[in-house]
Structure 1
Amino acid sequence: MDIILVTTIIASLFLVIGAAEPFAARIRLPYSVILAILGILIGTGATFFLRTELTDALNPVAEAILDLPIRSNAFLYVFLPTLLFQATLGMNLRRMLDDWVPILVLAVVAVVVATVSVGYALSWASTLPLAACLLIGAIVSTTDPSAVVSIFRSISAPRRLARIIEGESLLNDAAAIALFGLFMGFVMFGIPDPGFGDALARFPILIAGGALTGWLAARVAVWVMALFSRHDLAQLSISVALPYLAYIVAEQSVGASGVIAVVVAGLTLNLTAPGRLPPQSWTNLRELWDILAHWAGALIFVLAALLIPSLLEEVRLEDFLLVGVVIVAAIVARTAILFGLMPILTALKLSPNVERPYRVAILWGGLRGAVTLALALAVTESVRVPDGIQRVVGILATGFTLFTLLVQGTTLRWVIGRIGLDRLSPIDEALSRQVVAVALQTVREDVARTTENYELNRDTVRSEAKRFGERLDLAVTKAEESADILDRDRIALGLIALAGHERDTILARMRDRTISARMAEVVLSDADRLIEGARTQGRSGYQRAARRSIAYSRAFRASVMLHGRFGVSGPLARMTADRFEQLLSQRLILRDLGTFIDGRIRRIHGRRVAELLHDLLARRIEAHETALEGLRLQYPGYAEELERRFIRRTALRMEEREYVAMREDGLIGSEVYTALIQELATRRVAAERRPRLDVAVRRAAFVAQFPLFADLDDGAIKRLARSLTTRHVDAGEVILRKESVAKRVFFIATGAVELESAGQIWRLGRGEMFGQMAILTSKARRADVRAIAPTTLLVLDEDRFRRLLQRSQALRKAVRISAEKRGMDPAGLVPDD
């Protein structure tokens, strides 16, 4: 085939892609539907031109279009990895992990139910072997992720719901293609009636092998990319190679699912790369993949649609009945998932409540597309699949895809309108009126100042002011009509706005590089939880999300256990350093939110709501300070190291701004500017490096460094270390309760505790002790003691403590000081020196 002609056709397809998007927006149809229609028209036109004698001059072009090297391998090995990989890079993985149960259940169960439903329905309605029927079920069970995501963006669905459906749409591609590979093997090897249990038994092997391959490939890629931290183009090139190599190795060498390998590789890169790559490199990488995925997604739809006329050439009357069976079975299966399984997950508190209108939109929005056609094409190309099965698979898959695109796709907006998802809720409608009134008032004030500064014609100014005043009066009247919003709704809306501003501030700090990209992902996830909590449960949801942002995770507690019981300190050191950086980053953000409350929220929602938000913000700041103080007491020098790092990064950002301003003002040329920026980049790499945190506690070494035991000789220190026992407690755990019997003294190895008695609070950190006063006074304890950070305690029983007190002058001095702080007379409690 002439390369010039092929290049011309491909370039023309890009013109079609470029024109299709604005056209789809203009006529309000899904972009994928328009691409499919254009592809069908192009394929049908080329076939018509080739078979009629009226347009012989166009025969070379028609032949070139119909003879394009469109094979299933091109879809599966070129386009599909691109789409899957980009989708994983665009995910908020940390938030998606919060909902991994409903995502995984919906993805796997939905595919299995659809495959079984369609397969057995076809087996009942046709003479096809069960293996072929299940193969068709696997082909048509995967939805198009881009179509589903665009639906939810168009109707402004709740973020958590959209995230669950996006994850389900992505992963069900992987599950469906894995099942396709299983049943394709049964059909090619002539196994007419496979045991479905046998197929499912092989399913985990495909998943596990693909996941391991993708994880290893991504880890190697990130390691190599980190070595090339100063070469952006090299990093981009490695990222382009990653999904294709992971797919090929999994499919051809491991015998596992290439789709799973690509998904896991993308998720691993998404999770690890922001902390290993410079922020701008990560941004450039995601922008590159956005473009590649846009082109791949559009081309796969157009090229797959070109094949539809040829796939339907041998259609028969009875095939329409079978297409109807597939349509009914697939819709019934998806209905069972949405209206049967999802309410059960909600009742078990594994999934958010999905309201009925949203479930209807998901049901009718289950469009199929290029992946379905590509899998059907793979069947029609295989010489080991009988001709009769090839024909039926091609026709049924194509007919079902056309139904979803031309019937469901074209009526989707009408359905959304009928169920009311295209309209604002009463609260949002009332809020929008108030926002318009406040905005117009601000605009009038700004316009008045502008016209005064420019000394415009007074008659013109008065005329325009009158027109603007009429619009403002109308807006105020509508706002007054909506003044009956309940206070709890105003508070929820104010909290949503506050959390949204917090999110914007985090992004601005990330762009300024005062917050690392990796840490920005963490605090952005916390901000998203605040928004969703306020949207779904108001003030209580916001407060619950705020408490969760500073709570210790299960992984952190597991790392504490590993450190305490087995001496494995690596995970705890990493997570503690992450927590330090997270709390410091959030502290910077929270300090700026009060201005937003006074400047914006007060004008829309009033003084009472603003005061309440100030109170909630003050509580959040206090909780953060308590958590941060616990870490400071635990590792007093490390907080200072991180603060110095923040100051250095801020100074470098300001220095970069000065160089940019000097270049724009013409004070320095491009050569000098480039040299300065390169030298600054070298210093920035050093400033980005986080200091290492040592959390290891070695009892003997710790005792030797303990100020209270400074005057003990080596032999006494060794004996004391053997006498001490270790206890690990989580943050928030009560160590001692008031009025309990005194039997032990506690020395803080790492962590921090809080003592509360008679309304007074004392906080103790590493190297301090508690519990000694109750023993010395022989009275019940007067204070509750609670850990405010994961804490490691060294515990000494009463008898050994009294003997130690006799030998250690430093310990006696510490006890006296502690007694004086609490207003007690140390005389008689401590032996004389």
Structure 2
Amino acid sequence: MSHDALTSTQYFWLILIAFLVALVARRVQVPYALALVMTGLIVGIPHLLPHTHLDPKLLFSVFLPPLLFESAIQLPLVHLRRNWKAITVYTFGGTILSTFIAGSLAAGLLHWPLTTGLLFGALISATDPISVIAIFKRLGAGRRLTLLVEAESLFNDGVAVVLFTVMLALGMGQGISPVGSILQFCQLVIGGALLGVTIGMIASRVHCALDDHLLEITLTSVVAFGAYLGAEALHVSGVIAVVAAGLVVGNYGMPNSMSPGTRLAVRSFWEYASFVVNSIVFLLIGIEVSYVQWADKIGAVLLAIIIVLVGRTAIYPLSWLVNRMNTEPGREIPLSWQHIMVWGGLRGALSMALVLGLDQNFPYRDILVACTFGVVLASLLLQGLTVGALLRQLGLAQTANKVSDEQRRLAGEIVACEAAIAELDKLKEQDSYPNTTVESLLRHYQERLNQLQETMQTLYPQHDVLQEEQASKARRAALLAAKSAFQESERRGWLEAEDWQDIAAHIDTELVELT
């Protein structure tokens, strides 16, 4: 299977298709990632984009660092510390145990050598929760459950790649002993973590000397790609290095070394970068799967799907261990959460990139590719489309079915208007801001608020619960709206540039407190 570099024309079509799919997915309430995979299949089967492939080298060196870095800078260290036992057990114990369960079963049932089975177990143990997290947020799953799923996936990517590297060395007959394998594993993990922390700390100190959001965004890009490339050059884990660097920048550099406006700009940049990269990757997954010749491999693929699900059940005994380790009341992992973690363990592009990166002459390569692609496709389409229903069935969808979309929209707008009015009242008290601009905005929001409240009281007399649910999100929207209005005033010359900078800094500070 050829993996030529994507051309600029192919990138254009991929991004255009992703944009159109996003519009449709939002309207029909289908998870965006799943819609992209299905679209990729539709595009790939008739070869509408010929010679378009998921290049493993491109994914690792270009696509993976932004995805890992964006996730890492969003994870609050305080929450990771509170859940460190569970995250550590799931990341290391879960990945290693599921690798050996799935690998041993694959070797026995599919008649592969044990090293080949373990190689498959390692590459397929990397989870990709992006579509699951989107469903969690839409249905109101608990914050701690969301954190556990997201953190486990972020860290287990690195562990899975390291395990794959070790198993590949064993499979290639490089004469590594069991003790040597353990030492190599520790070297890759610890070395990657130390390098990432070092790069993150240095970058955070450099941020202190800068006060330019464009320069600081550029520096974070250097950190993300530099951590990966540096780790590869030093033969340690690039994935773990990027994650470690992102955690340091997100939890140390951004709060202590960046202005509120720069923090918002950095987060917006990486959110967009992650969106574009994920869009391209999930489209390429669908296209790549369409090239696989399934006819003589369907039995093995179906068996592999079952084997991987069985391997994922390692979550249950590990959760028992976590609950035994937890001494703080109320910190147990409920059985319902364990079900979600098992069924929500979707596979994605990382597994595909690992298997595609195998040498063309590697024994069992064709069947490994088919089984990996089959597992990825089944997990995204079967598990991805049903995990929301399982959340509801287990009573974990806190906001599901409570209110209609229209009622939720009205409540959100009401809170947004109230937040905007409160913010404008504060600004009105400060003499440096033009009263005409503030008064105009106040009248606009007050009129809109009166209309919304009248509509809400007429249609839905009981709506108080919604205001609390929407408050944080709506307040952010209101602050952004107010900032946009003042920015337009400055652009038209109604507001002095110095006054605009003061207002923007004030609003940015409040926006950061909401993130």
TM-score (norm 2): 0.76
Change (3 A) 1:348 1:306: same
Change (3 A) 1:233 1:331: same
CA deviation digits over 1:722-773, x for unaligned, max 9?
xxxxxxxxxxxxxxxxxxxxxxxxxxxxxxxxxxxxxxxxxxxxxxxxxxxx
- How many Å separate the matches in 1 of 2:26 and 2:186? 42
Judge conservation of contact 2:85–2:322 (CA < 8 Å) in 1: no
Matched, 1:219 2:201: yes
Q: Secondary structure at the match of 2:314?
A: helix
2:433 counterpart residue number: none
Judge conservation of contact 2:72–2:243 (CA < 8 Å) in 1: yes
Q: Post-superposition shift, 1:286?
A: 1.2
1:285 counterpart residue number: 266
Give the aligned residue type for 1:285: V
- How many Å separate the matches in 2 of 1:259 and 1:79? 12
1:32 counterpart residue number: 33
1:517 counterpart residue number: none
Partner of residue 78 from structure 2, selected from 75, 94, 111:
94
Change (3 A) 1:216 1:506: farther
Aligned-residue identity in percent = 25
Written as runs of structure 1 = structure 2, the 5 A alignment for 1:390-429 is 390-422=365-397
Judge conservation of contact 2:89–2:318 (CA < 8 Å) in 1: no
Change (3 A) 1:407 1:661: closer
Give the aligned residue type for 2:64: L
- How many Å separate the matches in 1 of 2:397 and 2:500? 52
Q: Secondary structure at the match of 2:357?
A: helix
Give the aligned residue type for 1:261: A
Q: Post-superposition shift, 1:93?
A: 2.0
Matched, 1:19 2:20: yes
1:71 counterpart residue number: 55
Q: Post-superposition shift, 1:196?
A: 5.3
Give the aligned residue type for 2:90: L
Matched, 1:320 2:303: no
- How many Å separate the matches in 2 of 1:39 and 1:284? 31
Judge conservation of contact 2:44–2:287 (CA < 8 Å) in 1: yes
Judge conservation of contact 1:145–1:169 (CA < 8 Å) in 2: yes
Matched, 1:260 2:240: yes
Q: Say how many residue pairs are matched.
A: 452
- How many Å separate the matches in 1 of 2:456 and 2:276? 45
- How many Å separate the matches in 1 of 2:375 and 2:146? 25
1:188 counterpart residue number: 172
Give the aligned residue type for 2:199: A
Change (3 A) 1:251 1:406: same
Judge conservation of contact 1:24–1:30 (CA < 8 Å) in 2: yes
Written as runs of structure 1 = structure 2, the 5 A alignment for 1:542-621 is none
CA deviation digits over 1:136-166, x for unaligned, max 9?
1011111103123223213312212211221
Matched, 1:157 2:141: yes
- How many Å separate the matches in 2 of 1:228 and 1:10? 34
Matched, 1:269 2:249: yes
Please identify which structure carries the higher strand content.
1
Change (3 A) 1:342 1:32: same
Matched, 1:201 2:183: yes
1:115 counterpart residue number: 99
Judge conservation of contact 2:203–2:223 (CA < 8 Å) in 1: yes
CA radius of gyration, larger in: 1
Matched, 1:303 2:304: no
Q: Post-superposition shift, 1:666?
A: 4.7
- How many Å separate the matches in 2 of 1:420 and 1:307? 37
Change (3 A) 1:333 1:421: same
Change (3 A) 1:407 1:350: farther
Matched, 1:341 2:318: yes
1:228 counterpart residue number: 210
- How many Å separate the matches in 2 of 1:424 and 1:667? 43
- How many Å separate the matches in 1 of 2:185 and 2:401? 48
Which of the pair has the greater relative contact order for Cα pairs under 8 Å at 6+ separation? 2
Q: Secondary structure at the match of 1:42?
A: helix
2:351 counterpart residue number: 372
Matched, 1:210 2:192: yes
Matched, 1:356 2:335: yes
- How many Å separate the matches in 1 of 2:206 and 2:285? 36
Judge conservation of contact 1:144–1:368 (CA < 8 Å) in 2: yes
Q: Post-superposition shift, 1:203?
A: 1.4
Give the aligned residue type for 1:377: L
Change (3 A) 1:425 1:118: closer
Q: Secondary structure at the match of 2:46?
A: helix
Judge conservation of contact 1:102–1:350 (CA < 8 Å) in 2: no
Change (3 A) 1:159 1:393: same
- How many Å separate the matches in 2 of 1:507 and 1:37? 33
Give the aligned residue type for 1:44: I
Q: Post-superposition shift, 1:111?
A: 0.7
Q: Post-superposition shift, 1:21?
A: 2.1
2:90 counterpart residue number: 106
- How many Å separate the matches in 1 of 2:336 and 2:249? 36
- How many Å separate the matches in 2 of 1:31 and 1:260? 27
Judge conservation of contact 1:139–1:375 (CA < 8 Å) in 2: yes
Judge conservation of contact 2:123–2:161 (CA < 8 Å) in 1: yes
1:250 counterpart residue number: 231
- How many Å separate the matches in 1 of 2:61 and 2:368? 21
Q: Secondary structure at the match of 1:307?
A: helix
- How many Å separate the matches in 2 of 1:300 and 1:426? 32
CA deviation digits over 1:575-620, x for unaligned, max 9?
xxxxxxxxxxxxxxxxxxxxxxxxxxxxxxxxxxxxxxxxxxxxxx
Gaps of 5+ in 1: 47-61, 444-452, 454-463, 480-492, 512-655, 682-833
Give the aligned residue type for 2:78: R
Change (3 A) 1:271 1:667: closer
1:43 counterpart residue number: 44
Gaps of 5+ in 2: 419-442, 444-452, 506-515
Give the aligned residue type for 1:284: A
CA deviation digits over 1:675-712, x for unaligned, max 9?
9969x99xxxxxxxxxxxxxxxxxxxxxxxxxxxxxxx
- How many Å separate the matches in 1 of 2:209 and 2:132? 38
Q: Post-superposition shift, 1:224?
A: 2.7
Q: Post-superposition shift, 1:190?
A: 5.8
Give the aligned residue type for 1:271: N
State which drifts further: 237-246 or 217-226. 217-226
Q: Post-superposition shift, 1:360?
A: 2.4
Q: Secondary structure at the match of 2:290?
A: helix
- How many Å separate the matches in 2 of 1:35 and 1:365? 18
1:792 counterpart residue number: none
Q: Secondary structure at the match of 2:250?
A: helix
2:425 counterpart residue number: none
CA deviation digits over 1:410-455, x for unaligned, max 9?
33333334444446599999xx99x99xx99xx9xxxxxxxxx9xx
Judge conservation of contact 2:162–2:185 (CA < 8 Å) in 1: yes
1:134 counterpart residue number: 118
Give the aligned residue type for 2:83: D
Judge conservation of contact 1:122–1:322 (CA < 8 Å) in 2: no
Judge conservation of contact 1:143–1:368 (CA < 8 Å) in 2: yes
State which drifts further: 96-105 or 417-426. 417-426
Q: Post-superposition shift, 1:284?
A: 0.8
2:430 counterpart residue number: none
Give the aligned residue type for 1:394: V
Give the aligned residue type for 2:323: T
